[in-house]
Amino acid sequence: MEQPSPADIAAMLTDQTSACEAARDAIAVGGEVVVLDREVPQWMVAGIAWRRLGTSSKRGQPTLALDETVEILARHRCEQLRTATIDMPDRSWFFNVYFDATWTELLACSGVNRSRSPGTKDPPDQAQPR
């Protein structure tokens, strides 16, 4: 099973969540894409996303579609998933991308601003972080 290329991932980032456009733009401006080469259980990635949502909320850290992603991942119980990350070239934002086990369907995408203070840097082509 062949991993998707950054161009494949960009093409798959359509309207799964409101972070897809910003993640696609991050790839377009030279963001680093790292595709993890193993399947992980849904409960693991869903738990990480859920904890990230709580932590970023407590810190006031801007996110994109993290709440949507948590909801989407919860619907894929007992499945094996695959993941990738996208880092903005200036490392201000990073995105997590979640796929089915065969790399054929992109399930969700979320973004987190690395800064701990709201309003620092908007993601590409986004007026306001959500």
Dump pLDDT digits (tens) for 113-124. 987 555 555 666
**Cβ–Cβ under 8 Å, residues 81 and 99:** yes
pTM of structure: 0.87
Mean pLDDT computed over every residue of the chain: 91
Q: What pLDDT shows up at residue 121?
A: 55
Q: Which tokens is 84 given?
A: 């990738």
Q: Where residue 35 falls among pLDDT bands split at 50, 70, 90?
A: very high
Q: At what angle do helices 66-74 and 42-59 cross, to 10 degrees?
A: 150
